[in-house]
Amino acid sequence: MMNKLIFLSAIAVSVLMMHSCGPSKSVSFNITQPAEITMPPDVNTLLLVDRTKFSNEMVNILEGILTGEMPADDRIAAQEAMMRLKGKLDMSPRYNVKIHPDRLIGNNVTAVFPEALKWNVIEQLCAKYQAEAVVALEVFDSNFIITNGSRIKKKHVGEGKEKKEVEYTEYYAQGVGKIKMGIRTYYPKDRQIVDQQFVDRSNSWEAAGTNPSDALRVLITKSAANKQLAGMVGDAYAYKISPMPVRISRDFYSKGKDSPDVAQGSRFADVAQWKEAIDVWKKGLSSANEKDAGRLAYNIAVANEVIGEYGTALHWAQEAYTKYGNKLGREYVPIIQSRIEEEKRLQQQMK
């Protein structure tokens, strides 16, 4: 028993030492993330088109009978995907976005891409809405499975001395939903399909009650589940085709063992005075020991990334490791290199 206590104490001390040696503050800041797909530079306005209507209306009715949903549910979910996609794209500095009000024919029961829209149709749509590209939702396939059961749980009843723990039966219902959407992006100037891919999302929901009927009654409906998942698809595709704002965070050192400049600079960083923090951290390098100098150099790298000086940030991350042996500097180098490449792609996409 004593050996076990000694072992656990040693682990605790090691963890505390590791924590005290590592960065103890973090900063969060916004960047613009480049899109996965680089659109042609002259595309300024996108037209979103819902092409998920079946060619035979009886297919819609049959689909509703087989899946237990109203024929309008998929249409509402598809509209949600379009609205969420537009909402996300409106946050981007890259595009003006419009939605075609009519639902076009395209979807099919096999959940594969239909024949592409004719280029003369795409050209007519772009001319009418003064758009340079069309993003068409062309496949919509959904599934929702409900399972239920019961489990024994415990709860406390009574008060004071009469309080006791009792077991009871809880009934639950679980819904598992999945949506798959096929999206094509048309660029009529070169008659090119810039992108064609499936985007899918899945999720599960659970509800509980005192009996099976209660649990099923409060469980999310297939229609509501489809709408949620469709919104997720819309959000996800926005990041694929457009530069988007995202928030990232970086850790930095708040104090040094023998260098007060680490802490003084971190106080400037606390109030977003990053250039002042850099000046303090640079000043401290000449008198700091190797370990604290590594921390100072690492902090200077982080500060330069925050203010958008990525090349300088890379230099100081490299300096932190090669000159002072700071291991976090070595780990930070590929992160900054990746940010530099992303910035090049972003500038290309924003032209």
pLDDT per residue over 33-67, tens digit each?
999 999 999 999 999 999 998 876 545 554 554 44
28: its two tokens: 């969060």
pLDDT of residue 329: 96
Question: What is the arithmetic mean of pLDDT over 190-218?
Answer: 95
Q: Once rounded to an integer, what is the mean pLDDT over residues 301-320?
A: 97
Report the pLDDT averaged over residues 120-138.
Answer: 97
Residue among 140, 51, 133, 125 nearest 97 (CA): 133
Residue 5: the pLDDT is: 41
**Structural domains counted in the chain:** 2
Whether 80 has a pLDDT exceeding 70, the answer reads yes
Q: What token pair was written down for 169?
A: 């039966």
Domain that holds residue 211: 45-245
- The pLDDT > 90 percentage for the chain reads 74
341 within some domain: yes
* 50/168 same-domain check: yes
Q: What's the pLDDT score for residue 215?
A: 93
Give the model's pLDDT for residue 44.
93
Domain match, 231 and 262 both: no
Q: How confident is the model at residue 165 (pLDDT cuts 50, 70, 90)?
A: confident
Q: What is the mean pLDDT of residues 209-232?
A: 94
CB 123 within 8 A of CB 117: no
Higher pLDDT, 14 or 93: 93
Q: Are residues 50 and 68 in the same domain?
A: yes
> Is the residue at 204 inside a domain?
yes
Residue 106 and residue 232 share a domain: yes
Looking at the structure, tell me whether residues 314 and 236 fall in a common domain: no
Render pLDDT for 226-274 as a digit per residue (tens, 0 to 9).
999 999 999 999 999 999 999 999 999 998 888 899 999 999 999 999 9
55 occurs within a structural domain: yes
108 lies in the same domain as 166: yes
Task: Give CA–CA dist 26/324, Å, rounded.
Answer: 22
Mean pLDDT of the chain: 88
pLDDT > 70 fraction of the chain, expressed in percent and rounded = 89
**3-state SS, residue 251:** strand
pLDDT at 106 exceeding the cut of 70? yes
Q: At 200, is the pLDDT very low, low, confident or very high (cuts 50, 70, 90)?
A: very high
pLDDT of 148 > 70? The answer is yes
User: Is 74 part of any domain?
Assistant: yes
What average pLDDT does this structure show over 29-33? 94
Average pLDDT over residues 133-157: 92
For residue 14, pLDDT over 50 is answered with no
Of the three residues 245, 269, 289, the one that is the final residue of a domain is: 245
- The 10 Å Cβ neighbour count of residue 207 is 17
Which of 76-85, 148-157, 331-340 bottoms out in mean pLDDT, i.e. has the lowest?
148-157
Regarding whether 255 and 233 lie in a shared domain, the answer is no
217 and 279 in a single domain? The answer is no
pLDDT of residue 63: 53
Same domain as 208, residue 314 = no
Q: How confident is the model at residue 216 (pLDDT cuts 50, 70, 90)?
A: very high
Same domain, yes or no: 186 and 291: no
pLDDT higher than threshold 80 for residue 1: no
Q: What is the DSSP letter of 161?
A: G
Q: Which of 221, 245, 269 is the last residue of a domain?
A: 245
pLDDT at 282: 97
Q: Which residue, 196, 225, 245, sits at the end of a domain? A: 245
Residues 170 and 148 in one domain: yes
For the CA atoms of 14, 15, 18, 21, the dihedral, rounded to the nearest 10 degrees, stands at -100
- For residue 192, being part of any structural domain is answered with yes
**Residue 262 counted as domain residue:** yes
CATH of the domain at 264: 1.25.40.10
93 and 161 inside one domain: yes
Are 26 and 269 in contact, with CB atoms under 8 Å apart?
no
